[in-house]
Structure 1
Amino acid sequence: MKRDFPSTEAYASERAHFDALGVVDIQALQREVTAPYRNQVLLDFNGNCMRMAVFEGEYRWHMHPSSDEIFVVVEGELHIEFEAAAERVLRPWQAITVPAGTVHRTRAVGRTVNLTFEQQGAETVFVEPPAGL
Protein backbone atom coordinates (compact mmCIF):
# COMPACT_ATOMS: atom_id res chain seq x y z
CA MET A 1 0.00 0.00 0.00
CA LYS A 2 1.53 3.29 -1.13
CA ARG A 3 1.60 6.13 1.38
CA ASP A 4 2.36 9.73 0.61
CA PHE A 5 4.11 10.97 3.73
CA PRO A 6 4.60 14.73 4.07
CA SER A 7 8.03 16.31 3.87
CA THR A 8 9.52 17.50 7.14
CA GLU A 9 8.90 21.08 6.00
CA ALA A 10 5.23 20.44 5.22
CA TYR A 11 4.75 18.61 8.52
CA ALA A 12 6.32 21.43 10.56
CA SER A 13 4.57 24.27 8.74
CA GLU A 14 1.02 22.96 8.99
CA ARG A 15 -1.30 25.02 11.16
CA ALA A 16 -4.63 24.27 12.78
CA HIS A 17 -7.61 23.58 10.58
CA PHE A 18 -9.95 24.89 13.30
CA ASP A 19 -10.04 28.16 15.20
CA ALA A 20 -10.06 28.63 18.96
CA LEU A 21 -13.54 28.35 20.48
CA GLY A 22 -14.67 26.18 17.56
CA VAL A 23 -16.04 22.75 18.40
CA VAL A 24 -14.15 19.97 16.63
CA ASP A 25 -16.00 16.69 16.02
CA ILE A 26 -13.06 14.28 16.04
CA GLN A 27 -15.24 11.21 15.44
CA ALA A 28 -16.79 12.75 12.34
CA LEU A 29 -13.40 13.86 11.02
CA GLN A 30 -11.80 10.44 11.41
CA ARG A 31 -14.76 8.77 9.68
CA GLU A 32 -14.19 11.03 6.65
CA VAL A 33 -10.62 9.75 6.14
CA THR A 34 -10.42 7.15 3.38
CA ALA A 35 -6.71 7.40 2.53
CA PRO A 36 -4.27 4.89 4.08
CA TYR A 37 -2.48 7.79 5.80
CA ARG A 38 -3.73 11.17 6.99
CA ASN A 39 -2.14 13.34 9.67
CA GLN A 40 -3.47 16.82 10.26
CA VAL A 41 -3.23 19.59 12.82
CA LEU A 42 -6.66 20.14 14.34
CA LEU A 43 -5.90 22.73 17.04
CA ASP A 44 -3.11 25.05 18.14
CA PHE A 45 -2.61 26.04 21.79
CA ASN A 46 0.18 27.76 23.75
CA GLY A 47 2.77 27.09 21.05
CA ASN A 48 1.70 23.44 20.79
CA CYS A 49 -0.69 21.55 18.57
CA MET A 50 -3.05 18.60 18.58
CA ARG A 51 -2.84 16.37 15.53
CA MET A 52 -5.11 13.56 14.42
CA ALA A 53 -3.47 10.68 12.59
CA VAL A 54 -5.49 8.01 10.81
CA PHE A 55 -3.38 5.33 9.22
CA GLU A 56 -2.60 1.70 8.55
CA GLY A 57 0.83 0.09 8.52
CA GLU A 58 4.05 1.69 9.63
CA TYR A 59 5.47 5.18 9.65
CA ARG A 60 9.15 6.03 9.17
CA TRP A 61 11.82 5.94 11.90
CA HIS A 62 12.24 9.47 13.20
CA MET A 63 12.68 11.74 16.19
CA HIS A 64 11.76 15.24 17.29
CA PRO A 65 14.96 16.80 18.70
CA SER A 66 13.29 19.47 20.81
CA SER A 67 9.70 18.35 21.38
CA ASP A 68 8.11 15.65 23.49
CA GLU A 69 5.23 13.89 21.75
CA ILE A 70 2.14 12.56 23.50
CA PHE A 71 0.14 9.81 21.79
CA VAL A 72 -3.48 9.03 22.73
CA VAL A 73 -5.07 6.14 20.84
CA VAL A 74 -8.73 6.67 20.02
CA GLU A 75 -9.35 3.61 17.85
CA GLY A 76 -7.33 0.54 16.88
CA GLU A 77 -3.96 -0.63 18.12
CA LEU A 78 -0.76 1.40 17.88
CA HIS A 79 2.67 -0.14 18.32
CA ILE A 80 5.52 2.25 19.03
CA GLU A 81 8.98 0.83 18.45
CA PHE A 82 12.03 2.49 19.95
CA GLU A 83 15.72 2.44 19.13
CA ALA A 84 16.71 2.12 22.79
CA ALA A 85 13.63 0.81 24.63
CA ALA A 86 11.09 -1.98 24.47
CA GLU A 87 8.17 -1.64 22.10
CA ARG A 88 4.96 -0.26 23.63
CA VAL A 89 1.45 -1.21 22.52
CA LEU A 90 -1.41 1.25 22.96
CA ARG A 91 -5.07 0.44 22.68
CA PRO A 92 -8.07 2.81 22.80
CA TRP A 93 -7.81 5.48 25.47
CA GLN A 94 -4.25 4.61 26.41
CA ALA A 95 -1.51 7.24 26.17
CA ILE A 96 2.27 7.59 26.30
CA THR A 97 4.80 10.41 26.20
CA VAL A 98 7.78 9.98 23.88
CA PRO A 99 10.54 12.31 25.15
CA ALA A 100 12.28 14.74 22.79
CA GLY A 101 15.20 13.15 20.95
CA THR A 102 13.84 9.60 21.23
CA VAL A 103 14.13 7.63 17.98
CA HIS A 104 10.86 5.82 17.33
CA ARG A 105 8.49 4.45 14.72
CA THR A 106 4.74 3.99 14.93
CA ARG A 107 2.98 0.99 13.44
CA ALA A 108 -0.79 0.65 13.22
CA VAL A 109 -2.39 -2.77 13.37
CA GLY A 110 -5.34 -2.28 11.04
CA ARG A 111 -6.89 1.15 10.82
CA THR A 112 -5.78 3.20 13.82
CA VAL A 113 -6.73 6.68 14.95
CA ASN A 114 -4.56 8.56 17.39
CA LEU A 115 -4.22 12.08 18.68
CA THR A 116 -0.75 13.51 19.18
CA PHE A 117 0.28 16.59 21.09
CA GLU A 118 3.60 18.30 20.34
CA GLN A 119 5.22 21.69 19.84
CA GLN A 120 3.79 23.60 16.91
CA GLY A 121 6.33 23.39 14.09
CA ALA A 122 8.31 20.66 15.85
CA GLU A 123 11.33 19.60 13.84
CA THR A 124 11.20 16.02 12.58
CA VAL A 125 14.41 14.17 11.70
CA PHE A 126 14.04 10.95 9.73
CA VAL A 127 16.68 8.34 10.51
CA GLU A 128 17.81 4.98 9.23
CA PRO A 129 16.23 1.98 10.96
CA PRO A 130 18.22 0.93 14.03
CA ALA A 131 20.45 -2.10 13.54
CA GLY A 132 18.61 -5.35 14.12
CA LEU A 133 15.13 -3.84 13.79
Structure 2
Amino acid sequence: MNSDFPSAEEYASEKARFGALDVLDIQALQREATAPYSNQVMLDFNGNCMRMAVFKGDYRWHMHPSSDEIFLVVEGELHIEFDAAPERVLRPWQAITVPAGTVHRTRAVGRTVNLTFEQQAAETVFVGPPAGG
Protein backbone atom coordinates (compact mmCIF):
# COMPACT_ATOMS: atom_id res chain seq x y z
CA MET A 1 0.00 0.00 0.00
CA ASN A 2 1.30 3.48 -0.87
CA SER A 3 2.33 5.28 2.31
CA ASP A 4 1.51 8.64 0.68
CA PHE A 5 -2.18 7.76 1.00
CA PRO A 6 -4.01 8.23 4.31
CA SER A 7 -5.53 5.33 6.19
CA ALA A 8 -9.32 5.06 6.29
CA GLU A 9 -9.26 6.37 9.87
CA GLU A 10 -7.08 9.37 8.97
CA TYR A 11 -9.30 10.13 6.00
CA ALA A 12 -12.49 10.07 8.11
CA SER A 13 -11.10 12.08 11.03
CA GLU A 14 -9.71 15.01 9.06
CA LYS A 15 -11.05 18.41 10.07
CA ALA A 16 -11.93 21.24 7.67
CA ARG A 17 -9.11 23.61 6.91
CA PHE A 18 -11.47 26.60 6.62
CA GLY A 19 -14.54 27.71 8.50
CA ALA A 20 -17.91 29.19 7.61
CA LEU A 21 -17.67 32.60 5.94
CA ASP A 22 -14.01 32.05 4.98
CA VAL A 23 -13.36 32.78 1.30
CA LEU A 24 -11.35 30.09 -0.47
CA ASP A 25 -9.19 30.83 -3.49
CA ILE A 26 -9.25 27.39 -5.13
CA GLN A 27 -6.65 28.38 -7.74
CA ALA A 28 -4.19 29.56 -5.07
CA LEU A 29 -4.83 26.46 -2.94
CA GLN A 30 -4.16 24.11 -5.85
CA ARG A 31 -0.88 25.90 -6.60
CA GLU A 32 0.18 25.42 -2.96
CA ALA A 33 -0.28 21.64 -3.23
CA THR A 34 3.14 20.30 -4.22
CA ALA A 35 3.13 16.79 -2.70
CA PRO A 36 2.58 13.85 -5.08
CA TYR A 37 -0.77 13.29 -3.36
CA SER A 38 -2.86 15.80 -1.44
CA ASN A 39 -6.49 15.37 -0.41
CA GLN A 40 -7.72 17.81 2.22
CA VAL A 41 -11.07 18.74 3.69
CA MET A 42 -11.53 22.40 2.84
CA LEU A 43 -15.07 23.09 4.10
CA ASP A 44 -17.83 21.47 6.14
CA PHE A 45 -21.52 22.11 5.45
CA ASN A 46 -24.77 20.47 6.57
CA GLY A 47 -23.07 17.24 7.63
CA ASN A 48 -21.08 17.12 4.38
CA CYS A 49 -17.65 18.30 3.32
CA MET A 50 -15.78 19.59 0.30
CA ARG A 51 -12.35 18.09 -0.30
CA MET A 52 -9.68 19.19 -2.75
CA ALA A 53 -7.50 16.42 -4.21
CA VAL A 54 -4.36 17.14 -6.19
CA PHE A 55 -2.51 14.09 -7.50
CA LYS A 56 -1.33 12.08 -10.46
CA GLY A 57 -1.48 8.36 -11.00
CA ASP A 58 -3.77 5.74 -9.49
CA TYR A 59 -5.63 5.87 -6.20
CA ARG A 60 -6.73 2.70 -4.38
CA TRP A 61 -9.89 0.70 -5.06
CA HIS A 62 -12.43 1.63 -2.43
CA MET A 63 -16.03 2.48 -1.64
CA HIS A 64 -18.01 4.62 0.77
CA PRO A 65 -20.81 2.40 2.17
CA SER A 66 -23.16 5.21 3.21
CA SER A 67 -22.09 8.32 1.30
CA ASP A 68 -22.49 9.38 -2.28
CA GLU A 69 -19.41 11.16 -3.64
CA ILE A 70 -19.51 13.98 -6.17
CA PHE A 71 -16.37 14.62 -8.23
CA LEU A 72 -15.85 17.98 -9.96
CA VAL A 73 -12.65 18.26 -12.00
CA VAL A 74 -10.98 21.67 -11.88
CA GLU A 75 -7.78 20.87 -13.79
CA GLY A 76 -6.45 17.87 -15.70
CA GLU A 77 -8.17 14.61 -16.59
CA LEU A 78 -9.67 12.19 -14.09
CA HIS A 79 -10.57 8.62 -14.98
CA ILE A 80 -12.92 6.82 -12.62
CA GLU A 81 -12.92 3.07 -12.91
CA PHE A 82 -15.75 0.95 -11.48
CA ASP A 83 -16.06 -2.72 -10.61
CA ALA A 84 -19.49 -2.97 -12.25
CA ALA A 85 -19.78 -0.08 -14.74
CA PRO A 86 -17.81 1.39 -17.63
CA GLU A 87 -14.98 3.78 -16.84
CA ARG A 88 -15.86 7.48 -16.91
CA VAL A 89 -13.49 10.28 -17.96
CA LEU A 90 -13.89 13.79 -16.54
CA ARG A 91 -12.21 16.90 -17.84
CA PRO A 92 -12.24 20.45 -16.40
CA TRP A 93 -15.65 21.55 -15.14
CA GLN A 94 -17.24 18.14 -15.60
CA ALA A 95 -18.80 16.33 -12.64
CA ILE A 96 -20.24 12.95 -11.71
CA THR A 97 -21.96 11.41 -8.68
CA VAL A 98 -20.67 8.03 -7.52
CA PRO A 99 -23.47 6.43 -5.48
CA ALA A 100 -22.84 5.09 -1.97
CA GLY A 101 -21.57 1.51 -1.98
CA THR A 102 -20.06 1.73 -5.48
CA VAL A 103 -16.57 0.23 -5.72
CA HIS A 104 -14.32 2.57 -7.68
CA ARG A 105 -10.87 4.05 -8.04
CA THR A 106 -9.64 7.29 -9.53
CA ARG A 107 -6.74 7.67 -11.93
CA ALA A 108 -5.31 11.08 -12.70
CA VAL A 109 -3.69 11.54 -16.10
CA GLY A 110 -0.93 14.01 -15.31
CA ARG A 111 -1.47 16.42 -12.44
CA THR A 112 -5.19 16.59 -11.76
CA VAL A 113 -7.18 18.73 -9.35
CA ASN A 114 -10.68 17.76 -8.33
CA LEU A 115 -13.17 18.81 -5.70
CA THR A 116 -15.18 16.08 -4.02
CA PHE A 117 -18.31 16.45 -1.94
CA GLU A 118 -19.30 13.72 0.52
CA GLN A 119 -20.56 13.15 4.07
CA GLN A 120 -18.30 14.44 6.84
CA ALA A 121 -16.25 11.56 8.22
CA ALA A 122 -17.52 9.28 5.45
CA GLU A 123 -16.48 5.69 6.03
CA THR A 124 -14.02 4.44 3.42
CA VAL A 125 -13.51 0.74 2.79
CA PHE A 126 -10.43 -0.18 0.75
CA VAL A 127 -10.83 -3.29 -1.39
CA GLY A 128 -8.73 -5.30 -3.78
CA PRO A 129 -9.06 -4.82 -7.53
CA PRO A 130 -12.11 -6.41 -9.14
CA ALA A 131 -11.73 -9.82 -10.75
CA GLY A 132 -10.14 -9.42 -14.15
CA GLY A 133 -8.84 -5.95 -13.22
Residue 15 of structure 1: how far off its partner (Å): 1.3
Residue 49 of structure 1: how far off its partner (Å): 0.0
1:94 aligned onto 2:103: no
For residues 83-113 of structure 1, the C-alpha deviation after alignment (integer angstroms, 9 at most, x for no partner) is 0000000000000000000000000000000
Cross-structure match for 1:27: 27
SS of the residue aligned with 1:54? strand
Residue 74 of structure 1: how far off its partner (Å): 0.1
SS of the residue aligned with 1:112? strand
Measure, in 1, the Cα distance between the counterparts of 2:121 and 2:97: 18
Give the structure-2-normalised TM-score: 0.98
Cross-structure match for 1:83: 83
1:38 aligned onto 2:38: yes
Measure, in 2, the Cα distance between the counterparts of 1:10 and 1:24: 23
Measure, in 1, the Cα distance between the counterparts of 2:116 and 2:126: 18
Q: Map 1:1-133; keep pairs closer than 5 Å.
A: 4-133=4-133
Measure, in 2, the Cα distance between the counterparts of 1:50 and 1:33: 16
Gaps of 5+ in 2: none
Deviates more, 1:111-120 or 1:27-36: 27-36
Q: Contact between 1:81 and 1:87, CA under 8 Å: does it hold in 2? A: yes
C-alpha RMSD of the superposition: 0.8
SS of the residue aligned with 1:123? coil
Residue 3 of structure 1: how far off its partner (Å): 5.5
Give the structure-1-normalised TM-score: 0.98
Measure, in 2, the Cα distance between the counterparts of 1:84 and 1:49: 26
Measure, in 2, the Cα distance between the counterparts of 1:97 and 1:109: 20
SS of the residue aligned with 2:10? helix
Measure, in 2, the Cα distance between the counterparts of 1:3 and 1:115: 22
Measure, in 2, the Cα distance between the counterparts of 1:107 and 1:4: 15
Measure, in 2, the Cα distance between the counterparts of 1:100 and 1:91: 22
